[in-house]
Chain A
Amino acid sequence: SQTIHQWPATLVQPVGSPLSLECTVEGTSNPNLYWYRQAAGRGLQLLFYSVGIGQISSEVPQNLSASRPQDRQFILSSKKLLLSDSGFYLCAWTIPGDGQYFGPGTRLTVT
């Protein structure tokens, strides 16, 4: 069966510091991968998606970036965090004809 991992689970970072969040999927090949952000009390905002290694599409211009160095690895990064980057970050995957399956999330607090 497929599983999706995210780490870290929680993170507190000062403004201006770098960020790296990692997501890995097990038990499937060539999935589409997604990064979402969920601000407190709000819905989900799609940040990036990837249909293959090295292929990244950005949905919202911002100071975040994403990379997919391996088939089942998806990384969300920032060089300098802003206060507005605080939120709950969710990674998800899908295969053709199915829904998206979400990881447990990373709670990021920028102070």
Chain B
Amino acid sequence: AQSVTQLDSQVPVFEEAPVELRCNYSSSVSVYLFWYVQYPNQGLQLLLKYLSGSTLVKGINGFEAEFNKSQTSFHLRKPSVHISDTAEYFCAVSESRGYNQGGKLIFGQGTELSVKP
């Protein structure tokens, strides 16, 4: 079974500062990893995904994440945040060969990013 831990429930940061949202996972099998963003009263939007290949993954809105297998981490980073990045961010994991068993995602509890002017 997999589990996901988002190490910070809230991250306040000033506009144009860099940010890192931390995510650690646990799994006994190979995994796919994802970051989602949720704006108030909206569904989740896929920011980026790691399926295979390069461990540095670039996503939308200037975000990137690095898969570190030895540390079982998938931290999300952005070099300079904007007010519009204020939202809830979710890290998620699924088994890489689990589609026929449902392809279920295991989500972290979320990190609330608050960007202040």
Residues of A bordering B, CB below 8 Å = 6, 32, 34, 42-44, 46, 49, 51, 57, 88, 90, 92, 94, 96-105, 107
Contacts and interface: CB of A to CB of B under 8 A. Distances in A.
16 contacts: A32-B103, A43-B108, A43-B109, A46-B104, A46-B105, A51-B102, A90-B44, A99-B32, A99-B92, A100-B46, A100-B92, A100-B103, A102-B43, A105-B42, A105-B43, A107-B41
B37 to A, nearest CB: 11
Dominant SS among interface residues on chain A: strand
A6 B43 CA distance: 10
Contact of A97 (B44, B99, B109): B99
Contacts of B90: 43-44
Interface of B: 32, 34, 36, 41-46, 49, 51, 90, 92, 99-100, 102-105, 107-110
A88 B88 CA distance: 14
Contact of B46 (A6, A49, A101): A101
B99 A32 contact: yes
A90 to B, nearest CB: 6
Given A90-B43, A99-B34, A49 B102 contact: yes
Nearest to A91: B43
Nearest to B108: A43
Contact of B45 (A96, A102, A107): A102
